[in-house]
Structure 1
Amino acid sequence: MAKVIGIDLGTTNSCIAIMDGKDPKVIENAEGARTTPSIVAISNDGERLVGQPAKRQAVTNPENTIFAVKRLIGRRYDDPVTEKDKKLVPYKIVKGDNGDAWVEAGGKKQSPSQISAMILQKMKETAEAYLGEKVEKAVITVPAYFNDAQRQATKDAGRIAGLEVLRIINEPTAAALAYGLEKKDGKTIAVYDLGGGTFDISVLEIGDGVFEVKSTNGDTFLGGEDFDMRLVEYLAAEFKKEQGIDLKADKLALQRLKEAAEKAKIELSSTTQTEINLPFITADATGPKHLTMKLTRAKFESLVEDLVQRTIEPCKAALKDAGL
């Protein structure tokens, strides 16, 4: 029997797994990583890049590097969320032929479903390389609050990628299954999911091995990327104080800051202090400039404290809606 793959199509990263006997197994991609950046780029010579290769060249090609397209999938161009996104990304968000929000890269207009399909295709190829056989069927996860248009657009992405999408399942349900919680009948559980680009909280009730979503809440513009940007703004402000140069005005420097911020954030999960070191970040008439800064976990926590607080209200609302 042909294998069915499970895909977590995330805002920032995507992941793929298969059932190996009774247990799920996450498959590593060609770069040897268990997650693949949800990034698609058209390089300067017209080549299409997906995943880590796309992320690596984002520094030099920000206008043609599409990331966080999940925020746009199934959305109208005149949606307030689209308006907000336009201010945050270096690539062009344009009006699609059907009035939906589309993106432009390499001079070509494409729908978020088409971009997502390129990521799904990469995941499909990863599975095929591992299994040594064709893969045609998949289960894909989506946020619990996704509406019908967003779910359908995700299914369309699967179809474009050459996959028959057997089922779209809610991310909190997938998380609960991963923890084996389906065996805990009669239980009510909350799944707090602070992802790369979105935050959601879902309250689930388990009965006869079936999950019922009692309530869901969240913020489609709150995630790890926002934590990174807080750090970017802080580093840029400190550098401007010292050197009088605004790094945010330089796309190349900004991309390097973003990468350094993400790395520092990850390091501060396991250590109380880290050093950010970016040689030749910029230059002026006096010569090249370098950015070197120590950052403590306490400082980082103070920079993002309000972002963490922003997750509390949706949690309270979800509990109230679930009658808890």
Structure 2
Amino acid sequence: MEFIMGTVIGIDLGTTNSCVAVIEGDTPTVITNKEGYRTTPSVVAFTKSKERIVGDAAKRQAAVNSDRTIFSIKRHMGTDYRKKIDGKYYTPQEISAFILMKLKEDAEDFLGQPVTDAVVTVPAYFTDAQRQATKDAGKIAGLNILRIINEPTSAALAYGLDNGMAQKVLVYDLGGGTFDVSVIDIGDNVIEVLATSGDNHLGGDDFDERIVNYLVEQFKLSDGINLSKDVSAMQRLREEAEKAKKELSSSVTTNINLPFIAMSKDGPHHIDITLSRQTFDELTADLVDRTITPVENALHDAGLSKTDINMVLLVGGSTRIPAVADKVRQLMGKEPSRNLNPDECVALGAAVQGGKLGNQLQAGSAASEIILMDVTPMSLSIETMGGIASRLIERNTTIPTRHSQIFTTAGNFQTSVDIKVFQGERKFTRDNKLLGNFRLNGIKRAMAGVPQIEVTFDIDVNGIVNVSAKDLGTGREQSITITSSSNMTEEEIAKARWEAEVYSKQDEAYQRFIDIREDAVRTLNEANNALAANKKVWEKDKKKNVKAQIGHLGKLISKAPIDKLNEEKAVSLHEAAEAVKEALR
């Protein structure tokens, strides 16, 4: 019996927002989430009653529940960071899995069928550990990640569908937490990455942080109060900073107005500050300048000059900042393309790749004909005497790739060697990132320099590294798929997946409570509007009844904030909202 693969979705798992897409016919389409939006905030929260919420609902309640709300977890992927909530430590993989589960569920609702396979994108400059962590997050979420592809490559794939003519494209991808630049050659149905560079700790979050710091300083000067110690106030500032940044993309000034931001002996204090685009540009000029070197490095590694580039593609929401587009224009000497939606094109490209891997494309279509050739972002080396990083694979080597080299022993009668694998461009291993290590035992006793040990590096299509070492004298071999200390064992992944599934049922119930509360808030607003519009028309008894029901519903809503919802409160809200609707009839 031939196995038929289900629909493969494409996921852009972003630092601040995520997006999911699918191939329909031969066209990639963005999947709208349950809330009706085309992107989903990459935010996870645990309410006081221990429910887990993801996306818009989690972002909305952050100010009243900031210490139990997790933003920008992608910045911690591949590290041993843990977030402690209710006595349990969550890994970045688990928190990312909650976001992936939400995207998976939204896709299943949209398609009307279960989804198990996905192509997931990562920043081109993600290390091996970060790629492994992303695969682990997929497993926990119940997703089989068929392929991990680099975000700029994915964007170029979406672009190349409609622009197949031969051209060299520079993809400038500034997202919420990461910056990537890739030089890509779009040829005859081949998309070939020539070089990539970037900064895994530069993105829109940093621009927001500059506004927050500015507001804290201004408030200190005007009111003599330091807000940086107040967790709830800081969360409100972050939300306003993000809004202000977005407004300044189209306006030259924005007003930041936060009533009751602090209390002191003399009463409440409010923030009311006007921020100009000029001040914002001054606060963030160094962040924009940090994108210059990776652009120059990628061009240098590709062996191209700026004039060789036919098109500059802006990807990632942060490229909407006017100063960023200005810098690209000035740097490259040409107008960047705005053909693609910077928030959606990465997911669209991933969906195309998913369609190819799932055999869901019609033969002969533009999408089915395109071949992707990506590169490894950083050089790989092993440690040799004196802490030297001996490179086996240079950065920007096309993947998949395999390379072997013969090494030998440093001491007489040595029967084992430690193989330490590093990623990075520096001469000494101490300045590079240790990916992992293993020991080859049972080497034939001999004088130093006699044994021949063949070390082989193998990088697969996901950019994930396998390393093996073989003593050519005895035929003994040892190999590992690199897993750094931050990565999870299969047992840990299985346990996390089980917990995620158990919680998922609770999450669905909790989402229902949130929906009921939102319906109640909507009903209250509509009733207030109807009361105001019909004051002179309605009979006295009807007016009195509507007012009473509105008052009752308003009280219940104020006693049931999002982070304290439970079944009892949800039932009361539903009944009160229905009573208001009945009174309005």
Alignment-derived partner of residue 243 in structure 2: 263
Q: 2:25 aligns with which of 6, 15, 21?
A: 21
Q: 2:10 aligns with which of 6, 18, 25?
A: 6
Deviation of 1:280 after TM superposition, in Å, equals: 0.7
Q: 1:52 aligns with which of 53, 56, 60?
A: 56
User: Where do 5+ consecutive residues of structure 2 fail to align?
Assistant: 305-585
* Two-structure CA RMSD over aligned residues (Å): 1.6
1:70 aligns with 2:74: yes
Alignment-derived partner of residue 87 in structure 1: none
1:61 aligns with 2:65: yes
Aligned 1:224-303 pairs, distance under 5 A = 224-303=204-283
Report the Cα distance in structure 2 between the residues aligned to 1:118 and 1:193, rounded to whole angstroms. Answer: 25
Counterpart amino acid of residue 61 in structure 1: N
- Equivalent residues, number: 300
Report the Cα distance in structure 1 between the residues aligned to 2:286 and 2:65, rounded to whole angstroms. Answer: 32
Deviations 1:73-112 (A, max 9, x none): 223xxxxxxxxxxxxxxxxxxxxxxxx3333223211221
Of stretches 226-235 and 59-68 in structure 1, the one that deviates more from structure 2 is 59-68
Counterpart amino acid of residue 42 in structure 1: F
Q: Percent identity?
A: 59
Deviations 1:132-161 (A, max 9, x none): 111111111111122332222211211211
Of stretches 65-74 and 192-201 in structure 1, the one that deviates more from structure 2 is 65-74
Query: 8 Å contact 1:197–1:222 — kept in the other structure?
Result: yes
Query: 8 Å contact 1:186–1:206 — kept in the other structure?
Result: yes
Alignment-derived partner of residue 297 in structure 2: 317
Alignment-derived partner of residue 38 in structure 2: 34
Tell me, what secondary structure is at the counterpart of 1:24? strand
Query: Larger relative CO (CA 8 A, sep 6+): 1 or 2?
Result: 2
Report the Cα distance in structure 2 between the residues aligned to 1:124 and 1:216, rounded to whole angstroms. Answer: 30
Counterpart amino acid of residue 13 in structure 2: L
Deviation of 1:183 after TM superposition, in Å, equals: 5.1
Query: 8 Å contact 2:126–2:200 — kept in the other structure?
Result: no
Q: 1:114 aligns with which of 94, 97, 120?
A: 94
What is the TM-score of this pair, normalised by structure 2? 0.50
Alignment-derived partner of residue 130 in structure 1: 110
Structure whose CA Rg is larger: 2
Tell me, what secondary structure is at the counterpart of 1:44? coil
Alignment-derived partner of residue 548 in structure 2: none
Deviations 1:45-97 (A, max 9, x none): 1111111122122223222222212122223xxxxxxxxxxxxxxxxxxxxxx
Of stretches 198-207 and 308-317 in structure 1, the one that deviates more from structure 2 is 198-207
Tell me, what secondary structure is at the counterpart of 2:63? coil
Report the Cα distance in structure 2 between the residues aligned to 1:276 and 1:113, rounded to whole angstroms. Answer: 35
Report the Cα distance in structure 2 between the residues aligned to 1:16 and 1:236, rounded to whole angstroms. Answer: 36
Query: 8 Å contact 1:74–1:150 — kept in the other structure?
Result: yes
Report the Cα distance in structure 1 between the residues aligned to 2:74 and 2:256, rounded to whole angstroms. Answer: 30
Counterpart amino acid of residue 14 in structure 1: S
Structure (1 or 2) with the greater strand fraction: 1
Deviations 1:188-221 (A, max 9, x none): 2211111101111111223443333222211111
Deviation of 1:284 after TM superposition, in Å, equals: 0.6
Report the Cα distance in structure 2 between the residues aligned to 1:228 and 1:101, rounded to whole angstroms. Answer: 22
Report the Cα distance in structure 2 between the residues aligned to 1:110 and 1:23, rounded to whole angstroms. Answer: 37
Report the Cα distance in structure 1 between the residues aligned to 2:39 and 2:191, rounded to whole angstroms. Answer: 26
Tell me, what secondary structure is at the counterpart of 1:34? coil
Report the Cα distance in structure 1 between the residues aligned to 2:42 and 2:191, rounded to whole angstroms. Answer: 28
Report the Cα distance in structure 1 between the residues aligned to 2:135 and 2:242, rounded to whole angstroms. Answer: 31
Deviation of 1:300 after TM superposition, in Å, equals: 1.2
Alignment-derived partner of residue 171 in structure 1: 151
Of stretches 290-299 and 261-270 in structure 1, the one that deviates more from structure 2 is 290-299
Q: 1:109 to 1:52 in 2, by over 3 A?
A: same
Tell me, what secondary structure is at the counterpart of 2:225? coil
Deviations 1:286-311 (A, max 9, x none): 10011111122122111111111111
Query: 8 Å contact 1:5–1:18 — kept in the other structure?
Result: yes
Query: 8 Å contact 1:204–1:213 — kept in the other structure?
Result: yes
Q: 1:270 to 1:113 in 2, by over 3 A?
A: same
Q: 1:185 to 1:106 in 2, by over 3 A?
A: farther
Query: 8 Å contact 1:11–1:197 — kept in the other structure?
Result: yes
Deviations 1:232-255 (A, max 9, x none): 111111111110001112111111
Report the Cα distance in structure 2 between the residues aligned to 1:246 and 1:148, rounded to whole angstroms. Answer: 41
Report the Cα distance in structure 1 between the residues aligned to 2:74 and 2:227, rounded to whole angstroms. Answer: 28
Q: 1:249 to 1:101 in 2, by over 3 A?
A: closer
Of stretches 204-213 and 66-75 in structure 1, the one that deviates more from structure 2 is 204-213
Alignment-derived partner of residue 196 in structure 2: 216
Deviation of 1:185 after TM superposition, in Å, equals: 5.6
User: Where do 5+ consecutive residues of structure 1 fail to align?
Assistant: 76-99
Deviation of 1:181 after TM superposition, in Å, equals: 5.8
Tell me, what secondary structure is at the counterpart of 1:180? helix
Alignment-derived partner of residue 202 in structure 1: 182
Alignment-derived partner of residue 129 in structure 2: 149
Aligned 1:72-91 pairs, distance under 5 A = 72-75=76-79
Report the Cα distance in structure 1 between the residues aligned to 2:188 and 2:99, rounded to whole angstroms. Answer: 35
Counterpart amino acid of residue 256 in structure 1: R
Counterpart amino acid of residue 129 in structure 1: D
